[in-house]
């Protein structure tokens, strides 16, 4: 897992979550497969709320936005 405290699937614009048959499903809309909120991939694109938080905290030095 990445050492970046923000770079996890749950903070990505492509992260999708929904309930199916009583079970929570977490999926990457970009890659097209199931994931988990705490997984991290190199294709990470931060969600707008995460970008705003990173700007507020001054953490944009390693912005990996694709």
Q: Give 1-56 pLDDT, tens digit per residue.
A: 344 778 899 999 999 999 999 999 999 999 999 999 999 888 889 999 999 998 99
- Strand residues in the chain grouped as ranges (E): 15-20, 23-28, 33-34
| Farthest CA pair distance, the chain | 42
pLDDT the model gives residue 2:
41
53/24 Cα distance (integer angstroms): 26
pLDDT the model gives residue 62:
54
pLDDT the model gives residue 25:
97
63/51 Cα distance (integer angstroms): 9
18/52 Cα distance (integer angstroms): 25
């Amino acid at each position: 897992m990445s050492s970046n405290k923000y770079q996890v699937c749950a903070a990505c614009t492509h992260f999708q979550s929904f309930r199916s048959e009583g079970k929570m499903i977490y999926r990457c809309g970009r890659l097209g497969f199931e994931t988990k909120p705490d997984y991290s991939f190199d294709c990470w694109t931060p969600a707008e709320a995460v970008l705003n938080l990173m700007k507020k905290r001054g953490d944009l030095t390693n912005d990996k936005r694709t």
